[in-house]
A and B are shown apart, each in its own frame.
Chain A
Amino acid sequence: MTVTLQSVAFIFSLLFLAAIFELVRRRRLKESYALSWFFVGGCVLVLSLLGERLEVVARLFGFAQLSNAILVFTVFLLLVLLLGLSVAVSTLSGMVQTMAQDIGLLRNRREAKDKDGADAP
């Protein structure tokens, strides 16, 4: 890894972490989701600091190229993140289902009540 690349990665990860922090501060991102993104930002930061030593680690795992190791690592990280998002979406859609049903049933109940009230003298 060249020094240029290393510093670019370092600056990028710092900006990334700052962006996440800012989103949380403005309440655009919930802490529960921010945590996984902080983890991603932290990983990039650590990788950028490792520099030469990273290549030794990659060799250890049998990667001929450092870039391959990083690519594989990134793919797995994103897979985990995406799965987490799918779980979150599933939870939300379950909530929406229950709430849509509640709205329908409540409106119906109110309508029936209004009708009864109108029928009474």
Chain B
Amino acid sequence: MMLVIVPAFNEEKALPGTLAELLRLYPRAQVLVVNDGSADGTSAVARRAGVRVVDLPVNMGIGVAMQTGYRFAREHGFSRAVQCDGDGQHPPAQIAVLEETMDRTGSAMVIGSRFVESGKEGFKSLFMRRQVIRFFSRWILLLCGVRVYDVTSGFRLVNEKAIAIFARDYPFDYPEPEAIVLLSRHGLAVAEAPVAMRERQGGVSSIGFFSGIYYVVKVSIGLLVTRLRSMR
């Protein structure tokens, strides 16, 4: 069974469209919205769509929201979980591509990537953002010998082993790149699949201009620390 985890913070505008598409395309999967303490009608909108909702009592950030989804997946015995943003950036139709890649490669995590092969047609991010992603990508390659291009993509499919790890230990602030290092430290393989992403349908990016520098420093150190941490 597959669980689609949709983390949502003040996402009432774009959420209904994403959820409708998910339910239509994957009737056998279960959809879980993790409402990260939204101030708007995110929770109500999700409930109206008929999906399960976990409301966090306060805004805890994307990492904690995602981990809530993984804990749910673990508690309910799901064998696969997809991370799919509620803002419409991640086209639900492309989940099939992630699944196909996981079936083929047997990787513990498949990342929907904007930078491999045919992924190029879809929405690509701004120049500076791309440079930062390239830097993180090289840093991860240096730290653990894993080649991932779109390290910040939050569009991911993980298997049971990765669910178990993430339910116990998931990075919080800007978790995507660190999660790759975490899995690789547990000896699990990470693969990439080309997907066409769209521009967000509503809401704003979580990273502003000035917090960009903080972001780069924080993630670079975070990656190093995750690499050096003992994995029990």
Which residues from chain A sit less than 8 Å from chain B, CB to CB? 96-97, 100-101, 103-105, 107-108, 112
**Interface residue B172 (Cβ < 8 Å from any Cβ of A):** yes
Residue of B nearest to A109 (CB): B75
Question: What residues of B have a CB within 8 angstroms of the CB of A108 in the complex?
Answer: 52-55, 72
- Within the complex, the shortest CB–CB distance from A108 to chain B, in Å, comes to 5
Residue contact B60 to A105, C-beta cutoff 8 Å: no
For chain B residues 51-72, which have a beta carbon within 8 Å of chain A? 52-58, 60, 64, 67-68, 71-72
Question: What residues of A have a CB within 8 angstroms of the CB of B58 in the complex?
Answer: 100
- A sample of 11 inter-chain contacts (CB < 8 A) reads A100-B64, A101-B67, A103-B57, A104-B34, A104-B55, A104-B56, A105-B68, A105-B71, A108-B53, A108-B54, A112-B52
Could you tell me the distance between the alpha carbons of A103 and B71 in the complex, rounded to whole angstroms?
12
Residue of B nearest to A99 (CB): B57
Task: Decide if the interface of chain B is mainly helix, strand, loop or mixed.
Answer: mixed
Residue of A nearest to B34 (CB): A104
Residue contact A104 to B52, C-beta cutoff 8 Å: no
Question: What residues of A have a CB within 8 angstroms of the CB of B55 in the complex?
Answer: 104, 107-108
Interface size counted on chain B using CB atoms at 8 A? 16
Which residues from chain B sit less than 8 Å from chain A, CB to CB? 34, 52-58, 60, 64, 67-68, 71-72, 75, 172
Residue contact B72 to A105, C-beta cutoff 8 Å: yes
Could you tell me the distance between the alpha carbons of A108 and B57 in the complex, rounded to whole angstroms?
12
Residue of A nearest to B59 (CB): A100
Could you tell me the distance between the alpha carbons of A114 and B53 in the complex, rounded to whole angstroms?
14
Residue of B nearest to A94 (CB): B172
A100-B56, A107-B55 provided; 5 other pairs, C-beta below 8 A? Answer: A97-B60, A97-B64, A100-B57, A104-B56, A105-B75
Residue contact A101 to B56, C-beta cutoff 8 Å: yes
List the 10 closest pairs (A to B, CB-CB), nearest first: A104-B54, A101-B68, A108-B54, A104-B56, A97-B64, A100-B56, A103-B57, A100-B60, A100-B57, A104-B55
Residue of A nearest to B47 (CB): A111
Could you tell me the distance between the alpha carbons of A100 and B63 in the complex, rounded to whole angstroms?
13
Could you tell me the distance between the alpha carbons of A83 and B53 in the complex, rounded to whole angstroms?
38
Question: What residues of A have a CB within 8 angstroms of the CB of B72 in the complex?
Answer: 105, 108
Residue of B nearest to A107 (CB): B55
Question: What residues of B have a CB within 8 angstroms of the CB of A101 in the complex?
Answer: 56, 60, 64, 67-68, 71
Could you tell me the distance between the alpha carbons of A97 and B59 in the complex, rounded to whole angstroms?
10
Question: What residues of A have a CB within 8 angstroms of the CB of B71 in the complex?
Answer: 101, 105
- Within the complex, the shortest CB–CB distance from B114 to chain A, in Å, comes to 30
Could you tell me the distance between the alpha carbons of A89 and B105 in the complex, rounded to whole angstroms?
42
Could you tell me the distance between the alpha carbons of A84 and B54 in the complex, rounded to whole angstroms?
34
Could you tell me the distance between the alpha carbons of A112 and B52 in the complex, rounded to whole angstroms?
8
Question: What residues of A have a CB within 8 angstroms of the CB of B57 in the complex?
Answer: 100, 103-104
Could you tell me the distance between the alpha carbons of A91 and B201 in the complex, rounded to whole angstroms?
37
Could you tell me the distance between the alpha carbons of A104 and B96 in the complex, rounded to whole angstroms?
29
Could you tell me the distance between the alpha carbons of A112 and B34 in the complex, rounded to whole angstroms?
15
Residue of A nearest to B58 (CB): A100
- Within the complex, the shortest CB–CB distance from B160 to chain A, in Å, comes to 19
- Within the complex, the shortest CB–CB distance from B44 to chain A, in Å, comes to 14
Question: What residues of A have a CB within 8 angstroms of the CB of B54 in the complex?
Answer: 104-105, 107-108
Question: What residues of B have a CB within 8 angstroms of the CB of A105 in the complex?
Answer: 54, 68, 71-72, 75
